[in-house]
Amino acid sequence: MSLAFEIISPERLILARSVDMAVVPGSEGDLGILPGHSPLITTLRRGLIELYEGSVIVDRFLISGGFVEAAGERCSVLADQITKVSEFNQAEINNLLARVQHDAETTDGTGEPVETT
């Protein structure tokens, strides 16, 4: 049994394919979505979406946020902004890492500033 997975951006359908598992960056932590998943709708934080065939990651996408809906054998990601990881160049990767590190140091994981005393 496989999972019908799709990624939709505001502009277009980015991806529609069958996978064995998808890991998405939920607002409360990473979520592994397998076929037969209980119905779920939640927000996504900035992070990586990883798509698996067997135990092998076949695609990775960087998402800025959005929503995921999973139920049964279907999973849909509605992405604010999304880029396939293989399309990044080294300068973009370094810039992204700096932003993620800054966010990790200055926010609580939900985008809210960390209070310093």
- Is residue 106 domain-resident? no
- Is residue 116 domain-resident? no
pLDDT at 92 over 90: no
Q: Which has more pLDDT, 93 or 110?
A: 93
- Is residue 99 domain-resident? no
Give the count of domains, the chain: 1
Instruction: Please say whether the beta carbons of 106 and 114 come within 8 A.
Output: yes
Amino acid 23: pLDDT: 97
pLDDT digit string (tens) for 42-80? Answer: 999 989 999 999 999 999 999 989 999 999 999 999 999
CA–CA separation, 8 vs 13, rounded Å? 4
4 Cβ partners below 8 Å, 6+ apart?
A: 16, 18, 73, 74, 75
Give the CATH number for residue 39. Answer: 2.60.15.10
pTM of the model: 0.76
Domain residues for the domain of 13 are 3-87
